[in-house]
Amino acid sequence: MDDPESAVISLDDGQLIEAIRSARRRLLLVAPGLSPAVAQAVCKQWLQMGGSAVQILLDVDPEICRMGYGTIEAIQLLQHTAAQLDSVIHHRPGIRVGILVSDDKALVFSPTPLLVEKLPSQVPHPNAIRIEMTPSAPSGAGTLHEEASDLIQGGEPVNDTQVQAAAQDLSVNPPLKFDLARKVRVFNSQIEFVEFEMKGLSLSQKSATIPSDLMGLANPKTQKLLRSTFKIVGEGSEVSGKRVSKLKEFIVSRFLRNLPGYGTAVLRSNKPKFEEAVGTLERFVARFQKRVKPKLQEEMDFVPARPSGG
């Protein structure tokens, strides 16, 4: 529990709902978005206090829901209650501060984007300032209420079409599961996925097909069925590409890790050294290509001498 005399407090939805339920004369709420539980508390109090006693300002952009500041269900509930009372909720893009004025008490708080962090449950998390409007502090909550009220009135009234458009947008591109999204964010802050491969350098594995009609088979039917191949270069040849492959394998074993179901990743802390090693490999490959061209033809032209008959 927070010290009731403390100006800086740890505020959660439960305390926010308690402050909303305590309102008897006026209720003013500014926030990017709301959870369904907070919206329900607002609507219940709104119905009891009457349309003119409650003022609401939100950012009804669907991106707010994807960031985890609130839900479309909360917006729909508030819009429905406003229509019942012949009142409106207001919209202003970019709102990221929270303000609640309940009678003579005010709270200024920092809303939590659930896409980035979860709501703390045990550890104190100072995220709000509580202000009590007293005769000795006329510039406290009184001024805050007036300025927040002006802010709300400067917003545009939300209409059903706007809410329906936001709901449609979220149905096509819904918010991620926030607990999973946070894990992925932490995951991605430490590693980076990479694709690292070489093609066409293992010359010792290259082969050419010998057409069957060159193999001296008399039977045409058999010629169509039979194919044979020969390797272009031998395993031990200096142009086989083995040294290049070994260098690539060393880089993989030194810097990369396979994550089953995800792909191959490198630690971000190792990325500069990995990129330096890849640069070395690229230069090695370039030199290998220049050296291999003249020698490759020699390998392909070479025919071992037959032993002389006697």
User: Which domains, from first to last, does the chain contain?
Assistant: 8-175 (3.30.870.10), 187-301 (no CATH)
What is the C-alpha separation between 51 and 82, in angstroms, rounded? 7
Percent of the chain with pLDDT over 90: 40
pLDDT score, position 136: 47
Low-confidence ranges of the chain (pLDDT < 70): 1-6, 119-123, 133-142, 178-189, 200-241, 293-310
Dmax over CA atoms of the chain, in Å, equals 126
Tens of pLDDT, residues 60-111: 999 999 888 999 999 999 999 999 999 999 999 999 999 999 998 999 999 9
Tokens 């079409």, residue located: 161
pLDDT score, position 192: 81
69: closest CA among 45, 39, 89? 39
pLDDT score, position 289: 77
What is the C-alpha separation between 104 and 140, in angstroms, rounded? 10
What is the C-alpha separation between 267 and 186, in angstroms, rounded? 13
What is the C-alpha separation between 19 and 114, in angstroms, rounded? 22
pLDDT score, position 150: 87
The pTM assigned to this predicted structure is 0.58
Structure tokens at 69: 């500041």
pLDDT score, position 80: 97
Tokens 């690539």, residue located: 248
pLDDT score, position 200: 60
Residue 72 is which amino acid?
Answer: I
111: closest CA among 27, 4, 12? 12
